[in-house]
A and B are shown apart, each in its own frame.
Chain A
Amino acid sequence: MHGKATEKIPGGKLLRVAADFGNTITNVEITGDFFLYPEDGLPHLEASLIGVSLPIDEHTVTKILDTVVKQHKLQLLGITPDAIAHCLKAATEEAHG
């Protein structure tokens, strides 16, 4: 299954999350007009979500992302880990074939 969701963060940026999944997440793409330092950190955030089981628990996903942010000393501007979690959940709920 594949799903995609878009969210405009109030006072922040546009976030889109696309996901492939079955019982768990198999691929995630996070795109949008946000800022992330260093930029090479995005693949780490995306990879950390692979294997997360459905239905998505936003709190769990936020915690996973928070850990990656800390581990790689990332700085997000215009989006937040909970916004990504929320958008991922929405993507899985918007799913189609």
Chain B
Amino acid sequence: MAEFTWWRIVPLATNTAAMNMAIDEAVMETVGAGRAPPTIRFYRWKPSAVSIGCFQSLNDEVRTDVATKQGIDIVRRRTGGGAVYHDYDGEITYSVIGKETLFSKGITESYHEICGWIIKGLAHLGIKAEFKPINDIVVNNKKISGNAQTRRNGVLLQHGTILHDLDVNKMFSVLNVSQEKIADKMIQAVEDRVTRVKDVVPQATLTDTYNALLKGFTEGKEQRFALLIKDELARAQNLAKKRYSTKTWTGSR
């Protein structure tokens, strides 16, 4: 079978949490079967959502009662890593899906490689960012992007988030930090550890951040803008229904 020599870029789209994770899995399958080219997709979450790592305990990490009350979705990822609050207006998420052979063999090296595209993108906004192993990107030692990777059946998936703007209070209301830690002191500590595009470039819009990332991810690649194929969408809808939106999956740990 001839290998694809170009990347498919699926432009910024908005989906539910379950659908976002289901699309990643559906695309891993088509890429693995040689039916789709290596793919980069950008997306947002509506409603805003919390994603938890595949090894995390739901109840240890998320205040599910608050999430329900605020209409915040919860989804368990198939990748490891930590709980992330995906605010609809606050961040851009990406996924890179391709055959493992396209990337560095070592896990840390391949994190570094893909995170390099984010770093290039942020540079287009005038932001000097660097890779911090295992899976973070920092600006002045403050985290601006978290990333998670899995490899299955010869296919690598890395997805991650780039913070554009973030309401720390809202994040804390839904992530399971004990009440006493939500005191101002703790929020201050997080403000010291986390940064956003808007902290560095206050006038940047979400579109500016997206365009900069798009450049960083695509520079030097032969690429075409394309949507998901029909099969991928159908498969994703099925996976969203049967796995990612079920309590069995979300509460499995």
**B-binding residues in A (CB < 8 A):** 12-14, 16, 29-39, 42, 75, 77-78
Contact = CB atoms under 8 A, between A and B. Distances in A.
Given A33-B80, A37-B107, A39-B150, 5 more contacts: A31-B56, A33-B55, A35-B134, A35-B135, A39-B54
Contacts of A13: 82, 134
A32 B56 contact: yes
Contacts of B149: 35
Nearest to B54: A39
Interface in B15-64: 53-57, 60
A37 B80 CA distance: 9
B253 A36 contact: no
A65 to B, nearest CB: 15
Contacts of A42: 55
B215 interface: no
B138 interface: no
Nearest to A36: B80
A32 B55 contact: yes
A16 B57 CA distance: 9
A34 to B, nearest CB: 6
Contact of A78 (B54, B134, B150): B134
Contacts of A39: 54-55, 78-80, 150
Contacts of B148: 35
A33 B150 contact: no
B83 interface: yes
Nearest to A78: B134
Nearest to B84: A33
Interface string B223-244: 0000000000000000000000
B151 interface: yes
B57 A31 contact: yes
Contacts of A31: 55-57, 60, 253
